[in-house]
Amino acid sequence: MHGEPGHDGPFEKVEEAIWTARPHELLTAADDLLRRYADGAGAEVLLIDYRQAYLVRTISGGDDVPVDNTGPGRAFASQRTVREDGGRLVHLPLTVRGERLGVLSVRLPDGGPAWLDGFAATLARALKIADQGTDLYRRVRRRTRLTLAAEMQWDLLPALAFDSAEFRFAGQLEPAYAVWGDNFDWSASGERLTLTVSNGMGSGTEAAALTHLAISALRNSRRSGGDIAEQAALADEALFARYRGERHVATLLLEFEPATGRVRVIDAGSPRIYRMRNGAAEEVGFEAQMPLGMFGDTRYTTEEFTVDQGDRLVIVSDGVHAALSPAGIPYGESALLQALRATRLQYPAEAVRTMIRHFVAYHEGTEPVDDAVIVCIDWLGARPDAADVSGEA
C-alpha cells in the first residue's frame, strides 16, 4: 500500500492532491492522504507561533506544544525527523528554503513509506503558497491577539529565514504580539544581497505607519535598481515630506556582493552589527549618519568591509543592545556578547530563537520597554550564478 515513488505511484497521486487542494482545506487534505496511502493516523500540522516558542495545533484539540523538550519541538529546532513510541510516531520539520513553518506529526504502523520526507517537503511548499490565499494559518499561529501595530509589522516582514549557497539568514521581532516600529527587510540576487534593519521612533500604529513608509520607499528604490545610497536618499526624502523632520527611522543598510564578500554599509541610526569570527565576537563600528527623515536632503555615503567564509554577522536594534536589566545594566554591555558566543554553533534560525529567549530572560520577568530585532547571517562563500530571490511573501 505504501509503494515507492514512480510513475502514477502513491507519491505522484499524493503530490497532485496536495497541489490541487484549496488553501483552507490543505491540512485536512494532508491528513486524508496520509490515512489513505500510508495507513497514517492522527496526522496533524503544528504551526510555529509568532514568538517561535510554541507549536500550535491546527486540527485536534489539546494544548499547544512547547518547542523546548518535546518530540515535535526537537524536530523543529534540529530540522531533523524525530521518531517516538518505537518509531511509530513521526515528527517531520516543514521548511521552505530555511524558513521554518512548523512540524508534521503522524502515527504510522511501520515507520512510514519511503516518500514521507518528500511529502513533508511538498506540503511545506504548498503551505507557504496557501498562506497567501487564506487567513486560516495566520489566525492559527497567534496564541493571543496581535495589536494593530504588530499586525502591520508582520504583514510588512519578508520571509523570516532563507538558505542559499552563499549565506544562511534568519531574523525575529520581539515582543512578537505587540511590536511597534522595528522591522527588517531583505532581497537577494546573483549580484547582491540587500539587508536593512530599521527602528521607527514612537509607539503603536504611528510607529508602524512610519516604518511602513520607510521600508516601502527603500523597496521602491531597490526595485528600480538603486543602490543603498539611493535607497536611503529616497526614504529620507519621503519621510521628511510626510513628517517634516518630526519623526525619523534609524536604519542600518547593508549590501553584500556574493562574488567577493565585499559589504557596503550605511549606518543611519541605532541598529548595531556584531561579527563572530574564529570564535571571537566583536562589534563592527561605522561612521554614524543622520536617521532617515531628519532633513530630507541628506547625502548618504557608503563604507565597506569584507566578510570571510565562516563569518557570522548579527544585527540588533537599539531595543536589544540598549535594553536594561532590572538592575539597570545594558544588555549590550556583556550579556549580548555572551549570547553570541553561546549560540555560535546553532544555525541562524535557531540561534535567533535562542537569543530572543536569552534577551527576554534578561529582563527577569519584567516587560521590555522597546521593540527588539535580531538578525543573523552566516556567510558560506560565493557562487556567482545564484538566481534572483526576494524575501517578500
Query: What is the pLDDT confidence band of residue 61, given thresholds at 50, 70 and 90?
Result: confident
Q: What is the pLDDT of residue 10?
A: 80
d(CA 371, CA 152): 14
289 falls in which pLDDT band (50, 70, 90)? very high
Interval 178-200 mean pLDDT? 94
Sign of CA dihedral 227, 230, 233, 234: negative
At 87-143, the pLDDT tens digits run 999 999 999 999 999 999 999 988 789 999 999 999 999 999 999 999 999 999 999
pLDDT tens digits for range 219-271: 999 999 999 999 999 999 999 999 999 999 999 999 999 989 999 999 999 89
Provide Rg for the chain, Cα atoms. Answer: 22
pLDDT at 60: 76
Confidence of residue 390 (pLDDT cuts 50, 70, 90): low
Mean of the per-residue pLDDT values of the chain: 93
pLDDT bucket at 392, cuts 50 / 70 / 90? low
Residue 128 parent element (H or E):
helix 116-130
387 pLDDT above the threshold of 50: no
Model confidence pLDDT, tens digit, residues 310-333: 999 999 999 999 999 999 999 999
Cα-flanking dihedrals φ and ψ of residue 72, to 5°? -60, -35
β-bridge partners, 275: 282, 313
Q: How does residue 391 score in pLDDT terms, banded at 50, 70 and 90?
A: low
**Grid coordinates of 77:** 529546532
The residues pairing with 174 across neighbouring beta strands, listed in sequence order, are: 372
Classify residue 310 as left (phi > 0), alpha (psi -120 to 50) or beta: left
Lateral strand order in the sheet of 389-390: 303-306, 262-268, 249-257, 193-200, 182-188, 389-390
Burial 17-34 (b: 16+ CB within 10 A, else e): ebeebebeebbebbbebb
Residues 8-46: tens digit of each pLDDT: 568 899 999 999 999 999 999 999 999 999 999 989 999
**Cα(270)–Cα(245) distance, rounded to whole angstroms?**
17
Supply the pLDDT for residue 393: 42
User: In which band, very low, low, confident or very high, does the pLDDT at 5 lie, cut at 50, 70 and 90?
Assistant: very low
Distance CA 330, CA 368 (A): 12
Q: Nearest 5 degrees, angle CA 223-CA 228-CA 389?
A: 45
Of 135, 126, 73, nearest in space to 102 by CA: 73
Q: pTM of the full predicted structure?
A: 0.91
Cell numbers at 211, concatenated: 516604518
Inter-residue contact 354 to 338 (CB < 8 Å): no
What is the model's pLDDT at position 328?
A: 94
